[in-house]
Amino acid sequence: MPPIFIPPLLKLVLGALGAGAVIHWVAKEVRRVNAELDRVKNATAIERDQREQMPTLRRDPQSGDWRVR
C-alpha cells in the first residue's frame, strides 16, 4: 500500500488544532487547581480565626495542672 499523502497545509492545521486543544486543557487545569488552592487557603484562614477565639491551656507553675487561659 502506498503512503498516504497529506498536504503540508493540512498537517499545519491539524497541528495547530491539537496544540490549541492542549493549551485549552492546560489552562482549564490551572484554573481548577488554583481555585482549589484558594478554597483550602480560605478554609485555613477561617479555622485559624476560630482557633484564636478558643481558650488555650497553660500549665500552672505552682500545681503543674493544665488550666484554661
**Residue 57 carries which DSSP code?**
E
Environment class of residue 39 by beta-carbon count within 10 Å: exposed (0-12), middle (13-18) or buried (19+)? exposed
Nearest to residue 20, comparing CAs of 32, 30, 28, 9? 28
Q: What percent of the chain has pLDDT over 90?
A: 45
Question: Is the distance from CB of 13 to CB of 20 less than 8 angstroms?
Answer: no
Does the pTM surpass 0.75? The reply is no
pLDDT tens per residue, range 13-46: 999 999 999 999 999 999 999 999 998 888 777 7
Which cell is 48 given? 485559624
